[in-house]
Every structure is written in structure tokens, then in C-alpha cells.
Structure 1
């Protein structure tokens, strides 16, 4: 974790003092791939809270507070914000504890009820998201243009490394065209809230009834787009394998809640959006390794490539698969080893 400057430390100390937490013991928590920092605050009475320290409050703290209020209003569990200084990028929020689904699964918990909770939370969102909330919150719209812009990270951060040179303008244009062909049908359906980073690291089990037992975090990057995205994010996890029968059962559970949904079209959407997500994650992991030396992410590359290859093999992805076949031979995919220096 990066060191905190003395000036920033003084801002944090003043913020904590203003909120009666000068004497709280502070424990750094493991972060994610973002620049945000988290600390657990242990109060004298034994209670705990979470300190959020972000250098980009307009991008994450402001939307986290606003989106969280909407999610709470439809009956989901999100950390309550006790205090905030948006200008300085500081907040104090409820502590949901340490029982992330990831930790529970690693300790041998039965995955079925955990994934059912996670799937039911998505059902609650897609049934109950308030009309007009996306516009009120100015959520980014995940249409083909935005998805394509995100997949370009793959040809900017990954392809030049494995091929030793950048792509031609025509090859880049063909990449965009292939993705547009498969994304336009997917983005034509009825949209809903798209949490974007919905997986077991960002879900915690809480001692609450029903769907409230799933605590949601890290949703500040939410947008407005195809409903299938978050379910495929949950079931095709970059960091852990999900048993195929369990994944199938969760898709069936979701579809049973929306009998009017075209099941075949929904599964095609999952394939396309899964491929979008996996291509981008491959690029993100390689970029983190090369630019920041964060090579721990590379252990997941073979899994992400397996997931991507499985989607490329489906008929819905034929145009994109054709581009990959022309430009990335098998040795430039999962078998590629990111160099120590470049």
C-alpha cells in the first residue's frame, strides 16, 4: 500500500477529529486495483467503521453515496455513509465486516446459498430500480460505443506487447466493427442498473433476513446497460472458478424470475458481454503488471483466457472470433508470458 503524505495524513486526522474519532485505532485494509484506500476504525466502545480515502471523489465517492441511497431504498444492503468530506475525498461508512463471499468460499462454505443470495440481489435490482433514477444520477450509458471503447484497451495494452508492434489502423477498425456487430443486438433490449464489478470479492454475508443478507460494496462505477452483464460478471469470475452446474442453476434462477425474458437471447447476451469483460480484464491485468509491477494479477490470466476462448467459440461471437483468429495466434494468447522488463 502506498505511503500517505504528511499533508494527507493531517487532512485525515482533522476529518476524524471533526467526527469524534480522534482516538479510534486505524488498521489498513487490503485494497483493489483502484487508487482508493480503506482503513478499519476501531472505536473505544468496540464498534468499528470504515474510513475511505480517495483521490478522485467526483468519480467514486459522490456516485457511491448517490447510488447507494437508491439501492438501499429498494431493500438492498449497502454501507451507510456516516460522514463525508467530498471535497477532500474522505468518508466514514458502516463496516460490513470480513465475511466476503470470497473468504467464506475459501473456508469451505457451500457456494449454492451464497450465489443464490447474489443472484437474488440482481433480481431485486432489475425488478425494482426506480424509473428515472439512471437519468437523475447521470449514469453512463453502456451502449455499443462505450463497450467498444472499453475493449480497445485490449488492442492498446495487450496486443502490442504480444505482437511486438501496434496494429494498423485498418486492423483497429476491423476490431471495432467486429465488436459492434455482436454488441448492437445485445444493447437493443431493455436496460437496467449495471453494477459493473459484481463478483464474490464485492459481496459480504450479513446477519440480516432475505436479500438483505448480501452486503453490496464497490458499486461507484455503476452504469446503465444490458441486464446480463452483472450476472456474467458474477458467474464468470476472473479470480475463481465457478462450477458449470452452479452457473447454469443461477442463470435458470434469474430467468425464472423474469418469465417474459427471451432465455436464448439472454444467454447470447451473456456470451457477448462475458467476452467484452474478459478481453478488458486480460488487458487490465497485463497493464497492471507492466506499468505498476503488480504481477500477482497474472496468476489469473490463464483462467480469464479460458473464459474468453469459451465465449469466442459460440456462434454469437463469430465476427470477433474471426478477428482473433486472424490477428492473435494461439501462442499469443494464454500461453504468452508477460516479460519482467519491456
Structure 2
């Protein structure tokens, strides 16, 4: 028996779940693992297992950009480094607003273990594949964001594992994400070459979008808000029917961030008509939002996110030997191309025209 398994068994015993049946769930691109627990009474729960030493440290709020770059990717991007206490604190905040996040049933934050309420397997992406109408799901998800965005955004979140800072998705994090494209795409496509001049042009092209993203960071962003991380909860209506998971990397960000994650999804097609319907619904729910500058920020930050995701996919394929992510790249290129045609992205569009041949962008 591994030391980690011994920790899991001790934790489950302390939580009164020593006799629960355990079924491992398929993994994703993260370092977390999950098991479904079935108790003797038939109740189902989820075991979240995130080994604390598996990742580089999260950013301390006091760290300078230089210190963050020295500490590693989690600090640059202001990711939670898989800290269970981050998940617990974000969940507590979402639940306090009447939104649906799993209840934390038991927690061992120092050892990276938690037992959570089980929301089931009705991921938006799966139930849509099975015939569920997609528009009501996307409108409910949009309503949940509007509710979240209208709520006060605290600087520190409090949960059962202690306090957790809600850091800003700032210029260092935004530019660091965009830079994954120029760092990793040449490793996937050797014909691409980005010299120092190209990199300098890259930073200059993104600078106004990065600055606007930091300046507009006013709401909590789930940060990975899409159809694979949202679960349809039966018997509930409106925003409460949207079960949220995988939100431990939440930050203070521009309110468009989660919207473009939802509506310009890397893993499934969302029609332009449904995207427009959901955006109209958002503006109806938040009538004080100035639509034109919001949509300009939406396009700019969506383009940046798509460059970031293309860089991540290139890394997963080239470094980690996960070729399945290649299938998602054409969709990301298509979203990026659409956004590059929007006002405010002329400099970024010109950069791609100079440095990335069209036959690569597919």
C-alpha cells in the first residue's frame, strides 16, 4: 500500500466513510484524482485527492512579477496549485450567493483531501449529446454568471480550510498565458520561428488588451466555465440548476472572461446564434453594463485566451504525449480568427499575418 493510499484510508475512516465503496473516475489534464464513494445507505459522495507536493507553489499576494516568474507557472498565472482550501473557500462563497457548488462534507487541507457532495454525471456537454435542448442550459449558466457578477467581490474568501485570497487576473497572469503560444507552438510546428523581434512585437500587440483586462477585473471569475465543468441539477430552476465544479483557480477578472469561456468553448461547438442569444440575455440581466466596450473586451480577452489554450494544447501534445488535444485545435483557431476581425485587435491580427502562415492556423 502506498503512503498516499494510507492517508486516504485514514481520512475516510475519520470522516466515518471507511466502509464506503470506492470507484475511481477518469482523470483529466490536472494533477487531481477523484473517486465516487457509495455509503452503506446508498448515498454517493466524491473524494477529491490533490497531493500537496504535486505542483509548484501558488502566488503569494505580496510577490512581485519577477518573484512570480522565479517561482513557476502557478505563481505567474495565479493558479491555486490545486490547494484544497482554495476549492473549499470558493465553494463557500458561491453557496453563500445561492449558487450551486458542492458542499464540503469533510476536509483535510494539509494532506489535500476532501469529501464533497456528489452532483452526479449530468455534465452539460453530455446531456446535450443525449438530446437535452442546449439553449436553456446556456441561458441558465449565463444567469448564474450575472448573479455572481452583481454580488460584491471580496478580496479574501473564507471557507472550512481557512482564508484564501481572491487575486486579480492581472497583467503578469494574462500576458503569461498568451506567451504559452509563442513558447510552445514552435515545438509542435517546427516551421514556426519567433525571434526576439517577433516576441517584442507579440507583447506590444497584446499590451492594450492585457491592460484593459487588468483594469476591468471587478468580479469573481470561475476561470474554467464551460460545458464540461457545469452539471445539470435535477429539480432546480434557473441559476441554481447549474452545478459548478473545478473552480479552485477562481480570480478577480473582467466579467467577460467566464462568458467567452462558456460561449467560445474549446471542446464543443456553440453556434454564433446561441452565443448572441446568451450575450443578449446577459445584457438584459445587467442593464447597467455598457455593451460596446464590454464586447470589445470580450473579443480581446477571448482571443488572448484562445492563444493561451492553443499554447497549452501544443504543450500537452509536444511535451506530454497527449495527441488527443490536437482534435480541439481547429475549433480554437476558428474562434481566434473570428475575434481577430473585431475592433481593437488590429495589432494582434497584423502579428499573426506576419509570423504565422495561414496553413498553420487550422
TM-score (norm 1): 0.91
Matched with 2:231 is 204
> In the alignment, is the contact (CA less than 8 A) between 1:163 and 1:332 conserved in 2?
no
Aligned match for 2:216, one of 189, 209, 219: 189
**What is the rounded CA distance, in whole Å, between the counterparts of 1:160 and 1:140 in structure 2?**
31
Task: Tell me what 1:244 maps to.
Answer: 272
Matched, 1:27 2:49: no
- Equivalent in the alignment of 1:167: 194
For 2:88 and 2:195, the matched residues in 1 are separated by 43
Distance in 2 (alpha carbons) for counterparts of 1:289 and 1:215: 30
Structure 2: gaps (5+ residues): 54-79
The answer to whether 1:16 aligns with 2:12 is yes
Equivalent of 1:265 in 268, 288, 293: 293
> Measured at CA, do residues 249 and 87 of structure 1 come closer, stay the same or move farther in structure 2, by a change above 3 Å?
same
Residue 164 of structure 2 is aligned to residue 141 of structure 1: no
The answer (yes or no) to whether the contact 2:188–2:314 under 8 Å persists in 1 is no
For residues 145-197 of structure 1, give each alpha carbon's deviation from its aligned partner in whole angstroms, at most 9, with x where no partner exists.
Answer: 32111111111111343244652222212111110123323443361111110
Residue deviations 1:83-120 (CA, integer Å, cap 9, x gap): 11111111111000111111111101101110011000
SS in structure 2 opposite 1:201?
Answer: coil
Question: Structure 2: how far apart are the matches of 1:56 and 1:123?
Answer: 33
Q: Is the contact between residue 28 and residue 39 of structure 1 (CA under 8 Å) also seen in structure 2?
A: yes
| Structure-2 residue corresponding to 1:114 | 137
Q: Deviations over 1:307-332 (max 9, x none)?
A: 11111122221111111111111122
Residues 62-92 of structure 1, C-alpha deviation per residue, up to 9 Å, x if partnerless? 1111111111111101011111111111111
Q: Which range moved further: 311-320 or 132-141?
A: 132-141
Alpha carbons 2:143, 2:285 under 8 Å: kept: no
Root-mean-square deviation over aligned CA pairs: 1.8
The count of corresponding residues between Structure 1 and Structure 2 is 330
Conserved 8 A contact 1:51-1:90 = yes
Between 151-160 and 64-73, the greater mean CA deviation after superposition: 151-160
**Is the alpha carbon distance of 1:8 and 1:83 closer, same or farther for their aligned partners in structure 2, counting shifts above 3 Å?**
same
- Equivalent residue number for residue 286 of structure 1: 314
**1:340 match:** none
Whether the 8 Å contact between 1:134 and 1:224 is mirrored in structure 2 is no
1:157–1:287 contact (8 Å) kept in structure 2: yes
CA distance in 1, matches of 2:311, 2:241: 34
Q: Measure the CA separation in 1 of the matches of 2:288 and 2:51.
A: 44
- Residues 74 and 129 in structure 1, CA contact (< 8 A), matched pair in contact too: no
Q: 1:310 to 1:110 in 2, by over 3 A?
A: same
Separation (CA, whole Å) in 1 of partners of 2:12 and 2:264: 39
Confirm or deny: 8 A CA contact 2:300 2:339 kept in the other structure.
Answer: yes
Alignment check: 8 A CA contact 2:187 2:318 kept:
no
1:221 to 246, 249, 255: 249
Unaligned runs of 5+ in 1: 335-342
Q: What's the counterpart of residue 180 of structure 1? A: 207
Q: Name the CA shift for 1:327/1:12 in 2 (closer, same or farther; >3 Å).
A: same
Contact 1:26 1:42 in 2 (8 A): yes
